């Protein structure tokens, strides 16, 4: 066992340590690329060009980043309450169910200004409800939220496959997907939205959900640091006993944190279903919920950090796809490897570089 942790200078803690953690992760990625037999710097150049080289690729980078902001916020809100929500994937999936049910029931009658907010609320409500059960189990029955949220991911997946194959499938369709949503339930693409102001950008999957994601970031920041509920939530995360002493109800705060977390995860459904697919489809969360863990850890749980981390992971997702197009030896799954390494070095091994930095900054401190 190593020596107890000594504090580092504040700016090193916030500015240097996270960068060293990320650098370590990417060092390993470089080694893996080398093992595969590809020039790392050539690959990196292709990745950057693929992510931000054109108006279209920037659009896709931001579209992926939208999903990552939602799931990153979801993980972060729970983290601040001392809860590890691994269930973002399932909460996004069930959020999609709420979104789909609302739209399929009402899209023929409601105009867009009513339909879209309602569908967004349905996504958030269903996501929150799916998170509320593990929260209830933790708060009232004492079962561990990590285990229950993992199980809820699998249950969500099984439930959705059943519903899509047997109930919600469009009549006559061979693939398990619902009928297409009416236009009133479609969130405008960024291309269309910007053309209202006379700005022309290339067609991509990017849509106005990005605005909702950014608003959510701002909202979470206000909630966590500028409301009494956010204060209670963070107190519980730091020291549950102190929170109880201060009059906070652990049960209520656990429910609040998890419901908010689940509602944020439901944002993925908004971006994917209302913004891109325009129908309910299988497996649309596609791992975004898990990437949210990496985003939240890398962003240190702060909305601003989460925006930056989401942009990085969006760029990796998009650039990685382009990279695997140019060099088939490097598959898109390289991005998953990077996610894993980031979670490892910014999460579990976050204190690894600390002794090195301590020696480095000891003289100056």
Partner 1 sequence: MEEALTFVTLTLAATLRVATPLVLCAMGGLFSEKSGIIDVGLEGKMLMAAFFAAATAAVTDSAWAGVAAAIVAAEALALLHGFACITHRGNQVVSGVAINILAVGLTVVLGTAWFERGGQTPPLTGSERLQPLFFPDAGDNILVYVALLSVPLTWWLIERTRFGLRLRAVGEMPLAVDAAGVSVAWLRYRAVLLCGLFAGLAGAYLSVAQNAGFSRDMTAGQGFIALAAIIFGRWRPLPAFGACLIFGLLDAVAIRLQGVKLPAIGEVPVQLIQALPYLLTLFLLAGFIGRAVAPRAAGVPYEKEH
Binding site for partner 1 (CB under 8 A): 1-4, 32, 36-37, 84, 86, 137, 141-144, 146-148, 150-152, 154-155, 158-159, 161-162, 166, 290, 293-294, 297, 328-331, 333-341, 343-344, 347-352
177: helix, coil or strand?
Answer: strand
Query: 132 vs 335, which CB is nearer to partner 1?
Result: 335
Q: What angle do CA 22, 23, 28 make, to 5 degrees?
A: 100
Of 1 and 174, which CB lies nearer to partner 1 in the complex structure? 1
CB of 333 to partner 1, least distance (A): 4
Task: Give least dist CB 257 to partner 1, A.
Answer: 17
Q: How far is CA 250 from CA 149, 222, 223, in A?
A: 19, 21, 18
Which CB atom, from 159 or from 201, has the smaller least distance to partner 1? 159
3 state SS for 107-138: CCCCCHHHHHHHHHHHHHHHHHHHHHHHHHHH
Half-sphere exposure of 284 (CA within 13 A, CB side): 33
Contacts of 249 (CB under 8 A, 6+ apart): none
> Whose Cβ is closer to partner 1: residue 153's or residue 209's?
153
- Indicate the residue among 256 and 344 with the shorter CB distance to partner 1: 344
Supply the minimum distance, in Å, between the C-beta of residue 222 and partner 1. Answer: 27
Site of tokens 């409301």? 227
For the bound state, the minimum distance from the C-beta of residue 27 to partner 1, rounded and expressed in Å, comes to 15
Q: CB of residue 128 vs partner 1: minimum separation in angstroms?
A: 18
To partner 1, the closest distance from the beta carbon of 157 in angstroms equals 8
Contact 84, 145 (CB under 8 A): yes
Cα(360)–Cα(365) distance, integer angstroms: 10
Q: CB of 18: closest distance to partner 1 in angstroms? A: 15
Instruction: Give the residue with the Cβ less far from partner 1, 190 or 344.
Output: 344
Instruction: Find tokens 């909630």 and name the residue.
Output: 223
On whether the CB atoms of residues 355 and 18 are closer than 8 A, the answer is no
Say how many residues make up the chain: 365
Residue in 334, 73, 100, 67 with CA at minimum distance from that of residue 210:
67
Give the shortest CB-275-to-partner 1 separation in angstroms.
26
Q: Count Cβ atoms within 10 A of the Cβ of residue 71 and give its class: 0-12 exposed, 13-18 middle, 19 or more buried.
A: buried
Inter-axis angle of helices 112-141 and 145-166, nearest 10:
140
Which lies closer to partner 1 via its Cβ, residue 194 or residue 349?
Answer: 349
The smaller minimum CB distance to partner 1, of residues 60 and 152, is found at 152
Residue with tokens 């898990």: 290
Please state the closest distance from residue 337 (CB atom) to partner 1, in A.
Answer: 4
Structure tokens at 72: 């990153």
The C-alpha atoms of residue 139 and residue 250 are separated, in whole angstroms, by 7
Q: Please, which residue, 23 or 222, has the CB nearer to partner 1?
A: 23
């Amino acid at each position: 066992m190593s020596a107890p942790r000594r504090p580092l200078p504040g700016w090193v803690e916030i500015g240097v340590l996270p960068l060293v953690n990320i650098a370590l992760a990417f060092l390993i990625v470089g080694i893996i690329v080398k093992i595969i037999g590809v020039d790392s710097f050539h690959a990196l150049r292709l990745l950057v060009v693929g992510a931000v080289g054109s108006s279209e690729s920037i659009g896709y980078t931001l579209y992926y980043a939208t999903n990552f902001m939602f799931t990153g916020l979801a993980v972060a809100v729970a983290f601040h309450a001392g809860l590890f929500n691994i269930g973002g994937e399932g909460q996004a999936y069930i959020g999609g169910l709420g979104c789909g049910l609302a739209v399929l029931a009402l899209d023929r009658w409601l105009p867009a200004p009513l339909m879209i907010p309602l569908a967004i609320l349905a996504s958030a409500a269903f996501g929150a409800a799916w998170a509320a059960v593990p929260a209830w189990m933790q708060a009232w029955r004492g079962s561990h939220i990590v285990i229950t949220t993992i199980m809820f991911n699998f249950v969500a997946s099984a439930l959705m496959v059943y519903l899509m194959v047997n109930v919600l499938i469009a009549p006559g369709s061979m693939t398990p997907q619902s009928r297409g949503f009416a236009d009133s339930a479609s969130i405008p693409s960024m291309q269309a939205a910007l053309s209202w102001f006379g700005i022309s950008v290339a067609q991509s999957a990017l849509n106005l959900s990005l605005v909702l994601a950014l608003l959510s970031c701002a909202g979470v920041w206000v909630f966590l640091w500028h409301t009494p509920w956010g204060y209670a939530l963070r107190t519980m995360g730091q020291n549950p006993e102190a929170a109880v002493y201060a009059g906070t109800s652990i049960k209520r705060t656990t429910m609040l944190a998890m419901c908010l977390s689940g509602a944020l995860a439901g944002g993925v459904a908004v971006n994917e279903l209302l913004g891109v697919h325009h129908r309910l489809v299988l497996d649309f969360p596609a791992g975004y919920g898990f990437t949210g863990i990496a985003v939240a850890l890398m962003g240190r749980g702060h909305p601003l950090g989460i925006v930056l981390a989401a942009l990085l992971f969006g760029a990796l997702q998009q650039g990685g796809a382009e990279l695997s197009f140019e060099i088939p030896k490097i598959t898109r799954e390289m991005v998953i490897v990077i996610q894993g390494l980031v979670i490892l070095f910014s999460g579990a091994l976050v204190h690894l570089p600390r002794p090195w930095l301590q020696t480095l900054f000891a003289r100056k401190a």
